[in-house]
Amino acid sequence: MTRHADVRTALTDPALRVPAVDSGPPGTLAWLRATVSRFSPPQRHADRRAIGVTALAELDPDELRQETARLTVAVLDRAGDHLDVMRALARPVPLRVLAGRLGLADPAAAGTAVAVVATAYHPGVDVALTRRADRAVATLLALAPPAPPEVRANLIGLLVQACDATAGLIGAAAHHLLPGPGRDPTGPAGTADLLAEVLRLDPPVRATRRVTTAAVRVGGQDLPPGSPVLLRFDAANRDPRVFAEPATFRPGRPEAGLLTFGAGERGCPGDRHALALAGGVLDVLRERCRRTRADLRHEPHPTLRVPTNVEVSVR
């Protein structure tokens, strides 16, 4: 589904649910997937989501942004003349800050393990990646603060869900916002407005999946139970019925129609925190960096859009 109205309806219709996942032995990747709110069935979702919401409520987005900016400055000060934003900043800096604030014992080690889990988080990856992710889950459980297994799983889930999505946002924003070959400076617009437009025009999460649990009519189609549905955020965010001149990069648009963070009871609970983590990095990059390449390539993934590398010069 690609129309804005249809995607929003599907996100909030109880007849369309997140596809079920199989569980596995405690402490494995399969167990983690089956325990986090992201993949939980309706009867378990609210309680598990509350774990993440409660943990995030203790975190001040302004403090996250400031700490992320400080770490970014430290990385740039050691970088020399050039830097790959994706390798040096986009994943490690936000994960280190968030892991530390969530109470993991070694934030840097936790960030490394989270990145491994993220490569295999969605079902369907090969056995070798799954085995690596199993070991990384065990590492994260050992680093997590003492708590019942379900609580620790959902804290880890927050980190895993932040990993590629935040990295993709930072990479796309660096590509769109930093001056460099073929692009002038973005002008006086604030980082928050710029990030909101990147989220609309080039979202790091392109789509999400649902499956129908009853006969339902959505988007002018009658779907029987068990029908798989792909909801395209990237297309919905460019729907001309909602966004004037949808292909134009225009910071400061009203954000009411943005669907990148989802909608309804499964909408992202950490949207403000993700924007703060990305904003801290981008504030510093805008002051000190220029892109050195005009082209951009992305990692192969059916629903995520994460740049492979964003090379910049540092001053």
d(CA 111, CA 117): 10
d(CA 139, CA 156): 11
pLDDT tens per residue, range 115-137:
999 999 987 778 899 999 999 99
Is the per-residue pLDDT at 262 higher than 70? yes
Is the per-residue pLDDT at 188 higher than 70? no
d(CA 204, CA 201): 10
Looking at residue 90, its pLDDT comes to: 97
Q: Identify which of 129, 141, 143 has the alpha carbon closest to the alpha carbon of residue 96.
A: 143
Instruction: For residue 289, give both structure tokens.
Output: 């960096």
Looking at residue 114, its pLDDT comes to: 97
Using the 8-state DSSP alphabet, how is residue 28 labeled?
Answer: S
Q: Which residues pair with 298 in a beta bridge?
A: 307
d(CA 124, CA 115): 17
Predicted TM-score (pTM) above 0.85:
yes
The CATH number assigned to the domain with range 4-314 reads 1.10.630.10
pLDDT tens per residue, range 52-82:
999 999 999 999 999 999 999 999 999 999 9
Looking at residue 185, its pLDDT comes to: 65
The helix (run of H) or strand (run of E) holding residue 196 is helix 191-201
Instruction: For residue 58, give both structure tokens.
Output: 């203790």
Looking at residue 255, its pLDDT comes to: 66
The pLDDT > 90 percentage for the chain reads 85
Query: In the structure, what pLDDT confidence band is assigned to residue 216 with cuts at 50, 70 and 90?
Result: very high
Query: In the structure, what pLDDT confidence band is assigned to residue 295 with cuts at 50, 70 and 90?
Result: confident
Instruction: For residue 175, give both structure tokens.
Output: 């590509």
Looking at residue 180, its pLDDT comes to: 84
The helix (run of H) or strand (run of E) holding residue 84 is strand 82-84
